[in-house]
Every structure is written in C-alpha cells, then in structure tokens.
Amino acid sequence: MSAFNERIEALRAKYGNRLAILGHHYQADDVLRHVDFQGDSLELARKIEGLSAEHVVFCGVFFMAESAAALARPGQKIHIPHQGATCPMADMAPAQRLEDVLNALREDGRLVIPLAYVNSSAEVKAICGLYGGSVCTSANAKTMLEWALQQGDAVLFLPDKNLGHNTANQLNLDATERLELDIRQDGSRIDHKKVRYARLLLWPGVCAIHHKFKKIHIQELRRANPGVRVVVHPECSPGVVRASDGAGSTSYLIKYCADAPSGARIAIGTECNLVQRLAARHRPQGKDIIPLKALSCSNMAKVNEERLAGLLVDLEAAQPLSLSPDVIEHSRVALERMLRICA
C-alpha cells in the first residue's frame, strides 16, 4: 500500500457522507479502491441525481466531471483531482466549430439534429440541448441514434465517427445514407450536394486509444491463439468490429467475461487498466483474459492516488468545477433527455 492510501482513507472517514467519490472503469486500481461508485459514463451519470454529498469527486477525465456538474443539485460541489485530465477526442469537437458547422448544415433548410457522444465538452452538450438534440454513451448509442433519426431530416453525430458508423451498422443504415464531413474552415468546405442525401452526418473524430487497434492485431492474435474470442469497444474502427466476435460498451465487455465458461480465452480491445482488472478477477475461475494490444490512456492516468490525496487534503478550499448558467441549463437538457429516453 502506498503512503497516500492511509491518508485518503482517513480523509474519507473525516468527511463521511459529506463526500462521494466516483471512478471510471479506466482508472487504475490504486484509485478505484477509494471510490464509492465505479462505472462507465452512463452508470456514473445516473448516480449524480441520487447523491446527497456536498462534495463529489470525479476520478476520470474532464468531460465526465463536467457532466456531473451539469446534473448536480444546487450547492453541490464537483471536483476532479487533475484539471488537465482532458480527452483528445472531446477536443476534436470545439463548441464554436460545432455551432458554425451546424448552422451551415441547416442553411439548406433541413432539420439537422445533433447527437454527441458523452466524450465531449459541456459546451458541446449544451449546443445539442439547445438545437433539439441529445447525447449518448457507447451503451445506449443505438437507442439514442434511433431516437435522433426520428426527430428531423438528418443527424449530426459527433465527435466519434467510429462509434457513429458502428451504431449505424447496428441499425442497418445504408452506407449511401452516411457522410463524413469536412469540418475545416468553419464548415465552408462541406459538400452541400452530398449533405442533401445523407441521413447521418459524421464528425471526423476518433478516440486516440481505440483507433490504434487494427484488424491485423486480431488476425495475428488468432494465428497465435486458436480458439481465442475477441471482443472490442465500438470506438474501434468498423473493420476491427467486423473482425471481432463481439463489440459493445464497457459494461458489455465486463459481462462478456463474467458469462464466459471456465477455460475461455478472451482478448479485449479497450483501455488496458480494465483488461488487467478483468484478468485478475477471472483468473481463479480458469479464464484467460488478455489485451488485444496493451494500450493505456495517458489522460486517465493523470488522476492518481497522489493527486486524489492532494485534493482531499484541501477539499474545503478547493475550487469546484464551474460552468456558466447557460451551459448548465442546456447541457442538462441534453443529458436528462438521454436519461429519460433510456430509463
């Protein structure tokens, strides 16, 4: 145990029910052992409404803490142990660029509904709420895209084109009805002729981790491990998803391992902290769980035990996450719309 372990636990005991700590599955074990709730983005978003704690510490990346701040009750303080724990994919969709592109798309007279993956900033979520759209997670992307397609003439899905394509494949949306947008120069390079025929417009963003998984990795793994099962996160490319035995959210990957019989060998294509945890959990049952390729999120790693301890030591004086009233109002609309549709 590290020197920070005892300090954190002593501070948790001191604050009691005034403090709640939430942790995403991609956090390291030495952080997750201190959390009150562990989950994926959807699970943790659902927890916020029921929390009575004055201080809520979110161990994850910045957009997750922003979502918590949008859903928090008045007077509740949301903290993140490291403000620099950003998400490169979220940064691929700046709010002003989204608004410019959305307005350029709507100039053609078509009602374009924005649907943002939760891996996006609070400002982007607010634009989605303001323009009649919503947000989604990898767990409910199919439900939310199906909903969004019924709300207007087309859907602008952002920022993850891989999740957009994979979800469209689940809905059997033909490739001729999709268009990856050129968002450069504030939307002035958009091909409006092609936009007129597309039902799904895709922002050209990807996850820096999941996009590194390639079909060749699956082929090489199967050659070396006959009978191995491969399951991946839908932030991977459509080619990787097609080559795998299954694809789904973090919760799906966890359940897949739990349901597998003793003796199963499973390779997982997602962030390696989760894979290592699942391997340790299921080893006693005779299951061999390995990474498709060992890749870790450097931004998730910015939240560690030392930084969590440092935050808790000065928690009363710490500056909580702050969002403007407009961003809170409209991002909350988008988030609550998702929670209501998926209830």
pLDDT at 306: 95
* Same domain for 71 and 36: yes
The answer to whether 203 touches 93, Cβ cutoff 8 Å, is yes
Number of alpha helices (DSSP H) and beta strands (DSSP E) in the chain: 16, 13
Asked if residue 331 belongs to a domain, the reply is no
Q: 190 lies in a domain?
A: yes
Query: Where is the domain boundary, 207, 241, 266?
Result: 207
Over residues 63-81, mean pLDDT: 91
CA distance 331 to 66: 9
Distance CA 144, CA 189 (A): 28
Spatial distance between the Cα atoms of 2 and 60, rounded to a whole number of angstroms: 20
Residues 96 and 198 in one domain: yes
Say yes or no: 214 and 194 in one domain: no
In a domain, 305, yes or no: yes
**Same-domain pairing of 103 and 198:** yes
Q: Does any domain span residue 337?
A: no
Neighbours of 314 (CB within 10 A): 9
Q: What mean pLDDT is predicted for residues 221-246?
A: 96
Tens of pLDDT along 146-195?
999 999 999 999 999 999 999 999 999 999 999 999 998 877 888 888 99
> CA–CA separation, 85 vs 196, rounded Å?
38
Last residue of a domain, one of 291, 311, 337: 291
pLDDT tens for residues 187-219?
Answer: 788 888 899 999 999 999 999 999 999 999 999
Are 121 and 196 members of one domain? yes
**What residues make up the domain containing 236?**
210-291
pLDDT at 74 over 70: yes
Sheet holding 37-39, edge to edge: 37-39, 19-24, 55-59, 77-79
With b for 16 or more beta-carbon neighbours within 10 A and e for fewer, the 283-293 pattern comes to eeeebebbbbb
Q: Is residue 157 located within the same domain as residue 249?
A: no
62-71 helix and 325-341 helix, angle to the nearest 10 degrees: 90
Same structural domain, 120 and 199: yes
181 in any annotated domain: yes
Do the domain assignments include residue 330?
Answer: no
CATH number at residue 249: 3.40.50.10800
pLDDT, residue 187, reads 76
Residues recorded for the chain: 343
Give me the number of domains the chain comprises. Answer: 3
pLDDT class of 134 with cuts at 50, 70, 90: very high
pLDDT at 49 over 90: no
Residue that is last in its domain, among 207, 224, 252: 207
Answer whether residue 28 is part of any domain.
Answer: yes
Residue 238 shares a structural domain with residue 251? yes
Is the domain of 171 the same as that of 195?
yes
Distance, in Å, from the CA atom of 321 to the CA atom of 93, rounded to the nearest integer, reads 21
Could you tell me if residue 35 is inside a domain?
A: yes
pLDDT value, residue 135:
96
Which residue shows structure tokens 């710490």? Answer: 318
Q: Full-prediction pTM beyond 0.75?
A: yes
Residue 256 confidence (pLDDT) above 80: yes
Residue 45's pLDDT band (cuts 50, 70, 90): confident
Q: What is the pLDDT of residues 319-335, one digit of tens each?
A: 999 999 999 999 999 99
The residue to which tokens 């005892």 are assigned:
6
Q: Are residues 195 and 97 part of one domain?
A: yes
Q: 117 with 132, same domain?
A: yes
Among 201, 174, 203, 204, smallest CA distance to 108 is for 201
Share of the chain above pLDDT 70, in %: 100
Do 313 and 252 lie in one domain? The reply is: no
What per-residue confidence (pLDDT) applies to 1?
A: 59
Cα 59 to chain centroid, rounded: 13
